[in-house]
Amino acid sequence: MKKTEKKKTLVTAICGASGVIYGIRLLKALLARPVEVYLVISSAGYAVLRHEAGYDGEPFDDFLKREGVVFHWEARLYHHDEGDLFAPPASGSFRHDGMVVAPCSMKTLGAVASGIADGLIHRAADVCLKERRPLVLLTRETPLNLVHLENMRRAAMAGAIIMPPCPGFYTRPETLTDIVDGTVARVLDQLDIDNDLTKRWGDKDLV
């Protein structure tokens, strides 16, 4: 983080869609900086973490460290249960710099598009929209039916940033990490966070 860069406070969520690697990698990138992160994981998100990432129910900080996350000494990670509607992100008076749902299930997308705030993830997303704060949804589903597309349209019209994790191959990725980092870098761009996770169009070795 540059010395002149404002310290960020961010909300992140992991939902029950395939692709929890995006949420893990995003946390790794964020917590390497002096940021405050408020994390919410849905019950389905935990199930996918167990299936895709080998999470065994250990303290989540320990799991992240096992995944290679190195905490900046000023970084803070706060965990909140998805049912805790008294958590800070549930209120518009709690000031932060944006929210990312990575991955975002079609259930969560539907709730956001419909204004249904029946849990902390949905409520925190709704707060972002009403307070005009960045809300980035890494929607994970394919193929998409008309309901999915309509929910994306409605969420986008309300102010959400719809960002399906579509890799860009012009950077010539060589590993799965390279592919994931390409998407995470674009997420950080949406949050106005400088990063060098991936090559960019215009770099001398690309063009």
Cα(176)–Cα(187) distance, integer angstroms:
17
Tell whether residue 91 is among the known ligand binding residues.
no
User: pTM, whole model, 2 decimals?
Assistant: 0.94
Tell whether residue 93 is among the known ligand binding residues.
no
Model pLDDT, residue 4: 54
Is residue 6 over pLDDT 80?
no
- Do 88 and 55 touch, CB atoms closer than 8 A? no
Tell whether residue 186 is among the known ligand binding residues.
yes
Is residue 116 over pLDDT 50?
yes
| Top CATH class, 9-190 | alpha beta
- Least confident interval from 1-10, 15-24, 154-163, 198-207: 1-10
The span from the first CA to the last CA of the chain, in angstroms, equals 27
Model pLDDT, residue 5: 58
- Do 78 and 37 touch, CB atoms closer than 8 A? yes
Tell whether residue 107 is among the known ligand binding residues.
yes
Tell whether residue 115 is among the known ligand binding residues.
no
Tell whether residue 106 is among the known ligand binding residues.
yes
**Domain range annotation of the chain:** 9-190
> Quick one: residue 132, left, alpha or beta (phi over 0 = left, psi -120 to 50 = alpha)?
left
Model pLDDT, residue 1: 47
